Amino acid sequence: MESIGIRELRQYASRYVALAASGQRVAVTDRGVLVAYLVPADPSAPLDRLAAAGQYEPAVGSILDLLPPPAAPVGARPLSAVVGQLRDEERW
């Protein structure tokens, strides 16, 4: 793995981006201290990676299959009216 300083990265950014695009990992240092890695982009979608790691479960079915929301209690204002009032109060 190649290691470069920030100054060199600024001067030759396209060279190091090309290295990362070719699959190499480039360590970036600031005054000799490792601060970042320039790595190849992962073409897979983030949700695909999370699903493969077991950290995300894709939705099943359709949102249209859900039941309608319960009715508001008698005498209660609809939530949309409450939110609208709060937004109006924030403007002033």
| Dist CA 37 CA 46 (whole Å) | 19
- Averages of pLDDT over runs of 10 residues in the chain (92 residues) are 91 94 92 93 80 86 84 85 89 66
Strands 26-30 and 2-5: parallel
| Both tokens assigned to 47 | 């949700």
Q: What is the pLDDT at residue 11?
A: 96
Q: What is the pLDDT at residue 92?
A: 61
- The correct answer on CATH 3.40.1620 for the domain covering 2-38 is yes
| Dist CA 50 CA 29 (whole Å) | 30
